[in-house]
Amino acid sequence: MAAAAPSVPRGVSGRGSNTARRGAAPAMESAARTLPGTARLSRGLPFGRLGISHSRLLPPLPRSQEIADPQRTAFLLRKQWTLYSVTPLYRFSDTHLKDYARLLSISIAAEKQKGLAVEVGFELDLDIKVDVSSIPDLKGSDQDHAAILVQLSSRSPASSKNSERKLIWLGCFCCVSGDDLSKNLPKDFTYLPLFLVNGAEKYTSIIGSWFQTTFDCCFHRLAISPFNLSWMAAMWTGCKVDKTASATELVFSVPRLPQPLDISYAIHPEDAKALWDTVQKTPGEITQEEVDVFMDCLYSHFHRHFKIHLSATKLVKVSTAIASAHCDGTIKFLQSKHLMGVMMLLTELAISQIE
C-alpha cells in the first residue's frame, strides 16, 4: 500500500530561497497570500517517494519561474490527455530532433505498408508529417530537461502542397520538477518521465514502439489511484476561483452490483472552498490528515442524506475548475494559471510509478 502512495513529503523551502531542492511550483493562491515572506527552512523530511506521505508544502511560484510565454503551453489546455510514465531515455539528444522526426515518418510509413494500421476510414495514402520540437518553457526547475513535443499533422493527397495541415496527434514528453532523480542519473540518460498523448491509439503505439526501441525506454499507462484523486480534489478545491468557476465534482463508481451504479457528487466551488479553508490548518502546507478530513466531511454530508457510504465505492474521477482527472490516467487542464502545478503533481506520479 505504501508503495502505491506516491504523494510524498517534500523538503521544499519557501519563497525566494535558493536552497530549494526543487523549483517551486505555482501554488494555490491562497497559500501564496498566507506564506510568510521569509524563507522557510527545509523541514528535512525524507524524500522517499515510496514512503507514506505526510504532507506536502505549497510554496508559491517565484516570478522567474512563471511560464514566460503562456502561448507556447496553450496547446495543453482543454484537451483530453492520456498519461504514461516513461523510463529514462538512453542517448537522446536535443540536437537530433529533426533526424528523429524523419525516422518517425519512415516508421509510420512502414507501418502503413505493413497494413497493420489499416482500419475502416483510415486513408492509406494520408500524407503525414512529423515534427519533433523542444519546448523550453515547459519545465519546472533548471535541472529539468525541457519538454519534447511530437506532432503529427496530415493532409489528404488530393489537396495542394500548400494547403493547411490538420493536427492529428500530439505527444509531449516532459519533466516538471523531477529534480532529485535527474540529479542521480548517469550521463547519457535523459529524464522525461511524464508522457501526455492526445490522438488516435494507432499512432501512439507506432511512436511509442519507435521510442522504446530507439532509446531503450519503457512506457506504462499511468493510472491514478483514488488516493491520489482525493489529493487532487483537496488541492484543486483550495485554489482561488473566480465567479464563473465550475463545481468540484467527484464521480464514484460501484461496479460490482447486479446493476452498476455511478454517482456524481458536485459541490458549488465556493462552498467546497469554504469547507477546505476551514480544514486546512497550516497555510502553505497540506497534510494527509487534512485531505482525509475534507473527504470525510464530504462523505458524511452525503451519508446524512442518502445513507450510502461513499467511502465503500471507488472514486474514479475528480473535476474542478483547475483540471479534471480520471483514474484511467487521463487528464484535462482547464486553466493556464495552475497548469505547472498540475504538471508537477503528474510528474511526481509518473516518477513513483517508474520506481
- Three-state DSSP class for 98? helix
Specify the residue, 272 or 349, whose C-beta has the smaller distance to another protein: 272
Per CB under 8 A, does 256 bind another protein? yes
Rounded distance, CA 331 to CA 111, Å? Answer: 29
- Nearest-approach distance from CB 225 to another protein, in angstroms: 20
Using the rule CB under 8 A, give the single segment among 8-16, 195-203, 256-264, 325-333 that binds another protein.
Answer: 256-264
306 binding another protein? (CB under 8 A):
yes
Residues linked to residue 285 through DSSP beta bridges, in sequence order:
57
Integer Cα distance of 61 and 350 in angstroms = 22
Q: Does 161 bind another protein (CB under 8 A)?
A: no
Q: Which is nearer to another protein, 135 or 239 (CB)?
A: 239
Determine the 3-state secondary structure of 250 from DSSP.
Answer: strand
For position 247 contacting another protein by CB under 8 A, the verdict is: yes
Please report how close the Cβ of residue 292 comes to another protein at its closest, in angstroms: 11
Return the SS3 of 296. helix
Considering the rule CB under 8 A, would residue 255 count as an interface residue with another protein? Answer: no
Residue 169 in 3-state DSSP?
strand
Query: Among the residues of 216-287, which ranges form H helices?
Result: 226-237, 269-279
How near is the Cβ of 302 to another protein at its closest, in Å? 7
Between 5 and 275, whose beta carbon lies closer to another protein? Answer: 275
CB of 12 to another protein, least distance (A): 27
Question: What's phi and psi for 8, nearest 5 deg?
Answer: -135, 150
Quote the least distance from Cβ 351 to another protein, whole Å: 33
Regarding 63 and contact with another protein (CB under 8 A), the answer is no
Count of residues in contact with another protein, rule CB under 8 A: 34
User: Backbone phi, then psi, for 7, in 5-degree steps?
Assistant: -70, 125
Based on the shown chain and the rule CB under 8 A, indicate whether residue 271 belongs to the binding site for another protein.
yes
Do the beta carbons of residue 351 and residue 49 sit within 8 Å? yes
Per-position DSSP letters for 157-168, written without gaps between them? TTS-TTSPPEEE
> Does residue 282 belong to the site contacting another protein (CB under 8 A)?
no
Choose the binding region for another protein from 45-53, 137-145, 212-220, 305-313 (rule: CB under 8 A): 305-313
Please report, as residue ranges, which positions from 10 to 49 form the binding site for another protein (by CB under 8 A): none
In angstroms, the CA 316 to CA 222 distance is 14
H or E element at residue 304: helix 288-306
Please identify, using beta-carbon distances, which residue of 77 and 297 lies nearer to another protein: 297
Nearest CA to 156 out of 134, 178, 124 is that of: 124
Count of CB atoms situated within 10 Å of the CB of 268: 12
C-alpha cell at 152: 503529427
Residues in contact with 137: Cβ distance below 8 Å, sequence separation at least 6, in sequence order = 67, 68, 69, 72, 73, 146
**Interaction between residue 243 and another protein (CB under 8 A):** no
**Residue 7 or 313 having the CB closest to another protein:** 313
Q: What's the min distance (Å) between Cβ of 246 and another protein?
A: 11
Residue 268 within binding range of another protein, rule CB under 8 A: yes
Q: Quick one: which of 240, 301, 332, 337 contacts another protein (CB under 8 A)?
A: 301
Q: Does 312 bind another protein (CB under 8 A)?
A: yes
Asked if residue 261 binds another protein (CB under 8 A), the reply is yes
Instruction: Point out which residues bind another protein (CB under 8 A).
Output: 247, 254, 256-268, 271, 274-275, 278-279, 293, 297, 300-309, 312-313
